Amino acid sequence: MASSFTLTSLNPCLSFRSISNGEINSTKKIMIKMSMITPSSKDGTRSKAMKFKGTQMREKKLTEMIEQKVVEANQVCGEDETSDECKVAWDEVEEISQAKADLRLKLEKLQQDPLESFCQENPETDECRIYED
Amino acid sequence: MAVSTVYTVLSLNSACSISKPNKTHLGFNQKQLVFFKKTTTITTTRRATTVITCSAGDTVVIGLAADSGCGKSTFMRRLTSVFGGAAEPPKGGNPDSNTLISDTTTVICLDDYHSLDRTGRKEKGVTALDPRANNFDLMYEQVKAIKNGVAVEKPIYNHVTGLIDPPELIKPPKIFVIEGLHPMYDARVRELLDFSIYLDISNEVKFAWKIQRDMAERGHSLESIKASIEARKPDFDAYIDPQKQYADAVIEVLPTQLIPDDNEGKVLRVRLIMKEGVKYFNPVYLFDEGSTISWIPCGRKLTCSYPGIKFSYGPETYFGHEVSVLEMDGQFDRLDELIYVESHLSNISTKFYGEVTQQMLKHADFPGSNNGTGLFQTIVGLKIRDLYEQIVASKTGAPLEATKA
């Protein structure tokens, strides 16, 4: 799976001056410098913290869902940008993106698999099989 | 250990909860009564132990309003760290639980009170930000119960599946934090809060943070990130943003003013807006309480690297309330900058010199550790500890008053 931090390939621009209240200008003016972004952990670090099959499955599922829901949102909003359906579609994208980010944070910053304590009590479940890269 | 025989307990004070521990550990805590019951059945004599815990309702409830999800890690971990101990998800329970528990603190995510799951919201055309997707009656009942010392079975909203999972037991802790989109939306819940905080991130900073968060995801692009923020904005402005007028403290995060035409978004300007006249809460100040100060610590005694650090402090009005605002623009590059700043702040409720610095260093790898976000989150944590101690002191003081009279 692609590393979460393939940021070396990015060079979008972010200009605060041109961002007025609520409006975000054309993407050509958006720029982010590398220094702003939290230093990436190497893939090795992440695999070390990920211990159980269940976590790997969750991560995979969330990644797929993000892709899928972004496509859906673009579709729905293409029909009517101001509709409730459009709002809800992007809200779902936000929810899943945040869930994925929370998982990533636990694995990378806290260096623990979220299923750790659950698997101590239930080692026989499918989710608690040891994950091997 | 005192042993006495009790025959019937008809009704218990609502402040008590009954639990049957699997192991009889009999660790004594002055608030626990251990009931030892003998039952005789036809074939065996079984002894059952029931523990009744009456916590005398000394739970302090804190509300935290924030947009980006729960277990919002940074702020919560700083807060629980101030009280000591690390916050962990409940052991052995639902692995997708949003709850964090430490020795003194329990943090719950208000998404757990969604009345509509993801499918339900899609059907009704309602976002999670919309009050119609949330069960405020249940939220109020359960927060009230916890505050009165009664444990509750709280639902779990699973962010991965989008479903509402079977409930988990939440026992009343010393500090109970309710975190999410609507802690101050419902007036009844607001009344239960001993202290409330609103994390107000400006649009520019929010955009930058979300790019940081999502840009590496396969499905995302700048356009999708931008579209998501814009689509949620109407509901956010209508339902979430107005809560900031009720907050006792608002942490406002803005782009820096120190760098002309800054377009990096790396340096932040953070304002800690503190309401005046809140019980048990004495706003932090710089040099002279109630006056207006502008302070640049960098100079002869302290050397800072570009762009430096700038503080300001002064009284203001916020949504019709008197407030004191402490503002920091810039970032810390060295430990001595941090300790220097800490030594000039007053009313920070530290227990020893350097406590703020120590707390910041403990979580040096968390975002915001070198700027006002980390600094003010840590200070707010200390103020909450101070508030808690004052509340507890006032409660234990009361019975003495009664006996004197």
Q: What is the pLDDT of residues B345-359, one digit of tens each?
A: 999 999 999 999 999
Determine whether B306 is exposed, middle or buried from the number of CB atoms within 10 Å of its CB (0-12, 13-18, 19+).
exposed
Q: How far apart are CA A113 and CA B88, in angstroms?
A: 12
Q: Quick one: average pLDDT of B221-239?
A: 93
For chain B, the 3-state helix, strand and coil shares in percent, each to the nearest 5, are 30, 25, 40
In DSSP notation, B213-226 reads HHTTSTT--HHHHH
Q: Tell whether the model's pLDDT for residue B32 goes beyond 50.
A: no
Rounded to 5°, the CA angle B52-B56-B58 comes to: 130
pLDDT of res. A61: 92
Q: How far apart are CA B349 and CA B142, in angstroms?
A: 31
Most confident of A100-114, B60-74, B146-160: B146-160
Instruction: Compare CB distances from B127 to A5, A68, A87 and report the shortest one's residue.
Output: A87
Instruction: Compare CB distances from A114 to B89, B211, B217 and report the shortest one's residue.
Output: B89
Model pTM score: 0.79
Q: Tell whether the model's pLDDT for residue A95 goes beyond 90.
A: yes
pLDDT band at residue B212 under the 50/70/90 scheme: confident
Find out whether B240 and B67 touch, Cβ atoms under 8 Å: yes
Chain B contact present for A25, CB below 8 A: no
Residues of chain A with Cβ-Cβ distance to B127 below 8 Å are: 87-88, 91
Return the structure tokens found at B125.
Answer: 């055309």
Q: Quick one: average pLDDT of B196-205?
A: 92
Q: What is the mean pLDDT of chain B?
A: 85
For A60, the enclosing helix (H) or strand (E) is helix A53-79
Instruction: Compare CB distances from A93 to B224, B264, B266 and report the shortest one's residue.
Output: B224
Range name among A62-71, A112-121, B65-74 with the lowest pLDDT average: B65-74
Which phi and psi (to 5°) does residue B292 adopt? -115, 125
Range name among B28-42, B52-66, B103-117, B266-280 with the lowest pLDDT average: B28-42
R_g over Cα of chain B: 24
- Which residue of A lies nearest to B203 if distances are taken between CA atoms? A22
Q: How far apart are CA A67 and CA A65, in angstroms?
A: 5
* C-alpha distance from A93 to closest chain B C-alpha (Å): 7
CB contacts under 8 A, A 4-23 vs B, are 4-7, 10, 12-17, 19, 21-22
User: What burial letters (b/e) apply to B115-134, b meaning 16+ CB within 10 Å?
Assistant: bbbbeebbeeebbbbbbebb
Best of B119, B228, B331, B373 to disrupt the A interface (most A CBs within 10 Å) is: B228
Q: How far apart are CA B327 and CA B215, in angstroms?
A: 30
Cβ separation of B216 and A36 shorter than 8 Å? Answer: no
Q: Cβ atoms within 10 A of the Cβ of A114, count?
A: 24
Place of tokens 């406590």: B355
Cβ separation of B266 and A16 shorter than 8 Å? Answer: no
Residue-wise pLDDT tens digits, A4-54: 333 333 333 434 444 344 444 433 333 333 333 333 433 434 445 777 888
pLDDT of res. B291: 95
| Dihedral angle sign, alpha carbons of residues B313, B315, B317, B318 | positive
pLDDT band at residue B51 under the 50/70/90 scheme: low
Find out whether A7 and B216 touch, Cβ atoms under 8 Å: yes
Best of A64, A90, A108 to disrupt the B interface (most B CBs within 10 Å) is: A90
Regarding predicted confidence, which is higher, B57 or B389?
B389
pLDDT band at residue B323 under the 50/70/90 scheme: very high
Q: Tell whether the model's pLDDT for residue B367 goes beyond 70.
A: yes
Contacts 24+ apart (CB under 8 A), A58-62: A58/A103, A58/B160, A59/A1, A59/A100, A59/A103, A59/A104, A60/A1, A61/B160, A62/A96, A62/A99, A62/A100, A62/A103, A62/B160
Determine whether B167 is exposed, middle or buried from the number of CB atoms within 10 Å of its CB (0-12, 13-18, 19+).
middle
Residues of chain B with Cβ-Cβ distance to A67 below 8 Å are: 217-219
Best of A51, A93, A110, A128 to disrupt the B interface (most B CBs within 10 Å) is: A93
pLDDT of res. A80: 83
Peptide bond into B307 cis (omega under 30): yes
Q: What is the DSSP letter of B361?
A: H
Cβ separation of A97 and B213 shorter than 8 Å? Answer: yes
Q: Tell whether the model's pLDDT for residue B315 goes beyond 60.
A: yes
Return the structure tokens found at B391.
Answer: 């509340």
Q: Tell whether the model's pLDDT for residue B383 goes beyond 90.
A: yes
Distances (CA, A) of B56 to B17, B139, B144, B396, B397: 11, 21, 13, 11, 14
Question: CA-based diameter of chain B, in Å?
Answer: 87
Q: What is the DSSP letter of A42?
A: P
Q: What is the DSSP letter of B256?
A: -
Q: What ipTM was assigned to the predicted interfaces of this complex?
A: 0.79
* C-alpha distance from B299 to closest chain A C-alpha (Å): 26
Instruction: Compare CB distances from A38 to B95, B210, B212 and report the shortest one's residue.
Output: B212
**Alpha carbon A78 to chain centroid distance?**
24
Q: Tell whether the model's pLDDT for residue B58 goes beyond 90.
A: no
Cβ separation of A30 and B222 shorter than 8 Å? Answer: yes
Place of tokens 């913290």: A49
Rounded to 5°, the CA angle B357-B363-B366 comes to: 125
Chain B contact present for A2, CB below 8 A: yes
Cβ separation of B212 and A30 shorter than 8 Å? Answer: no
R_g over Cα of chain A: 18
Helix (H, G, I), strand (E, B) or coil at A6: coil
Q: Which of B271, B270, B269, B278 is nearest to B246 (CA)?
A: B278
Q: How far apart are CA B394 and CA B378, in angstroms?
A: 25
pLDDT of res. B284: 96
Most confident of B2-11, B145-154, B201-210: B145-154
Find out whether B175 and B222 touch, Cβ atoms under 8 Å: no
Regarding predicted confidence, which is higher, B31 or B215?
B215
Cβ separation of A99 and B217 shorter than 8 Å? Answer: no
- Which residue of B lies nearest to A112 if distances are taken between CA atoms? B88
pLDDT of res. B49: 56
Residues of chain A with Cβ-Cβ distance to B224 below 8 Å are: 70, 73-74, 93
* C-alpha distance from B388 to closest chain A C-alpha (Å): 28
End-to-end Cα, chain A, rounded Å = 10
Range name among B156-165, B301-310, B323-332 with the lowest pLDDT average: B301-310
In DSSP notation, B37-52 reads EEEE-SS-EEEEEEEE
Cβ separation of A24 and B207 shorter than 8 Å? Answer: yes
pLDDT of res. A7: 33
Instruction: Compare CB distances from A105 to B73, B215, B228 and report the shortest one's residue.
Output: B73
CB contacts under 8 A, A 64-93 vs B, are 66-71, 73-74, 77, 83-93
Q: Tell whether the model's pLDDT for residue B303 goes beyond 80.
A: yes
Q: Which of B313, B312, B341, B346 is nearest to B329 (CA)?
A: B312
Determine whether B260 is exposed, middle or buried from the number of CB atoms within 10 Å of its CB (0-12, 13-18, 19+).
exposed
- Which residue of A lies nearest to B133 if distances are taken between CA atoms? A88
Q: Tell whether the model's pLDDT for residue A66 goes beyond 80.
A: yes
pLDDT band at residue A122 under the 50/70/90 scheme: confident
Regarding predicted confidence, which is higher, B119 or B15?
B119
Residues of chain B with Cβ-Cβ distance to A94 below 8 Å are: 228, 232
pLDDT band at residue B5 under the 50/70/90 scheme: low
Q: Quick one: average pLDDT of B101-129?
A: 94
pLDDT band at residue B45 under the 50/70/90 scheme: very low
Q: Are strands B321-330 and B309-318 parallel, antiparallel or unpaired?
A: antiparallel
pLDDT of res. A17: 43
- Which residue of B lies nearest to A24 if distances are taken between CA atoms? B226
Q: Which of B252, B260, B220 is nearest to A16 (CA)?
A: B260
Chain B contact present for A117, CB below 8 A: yes
Range name among B10-14, B33-37, B254-258, B371-375 with the lowest pLDDT average: B10-14
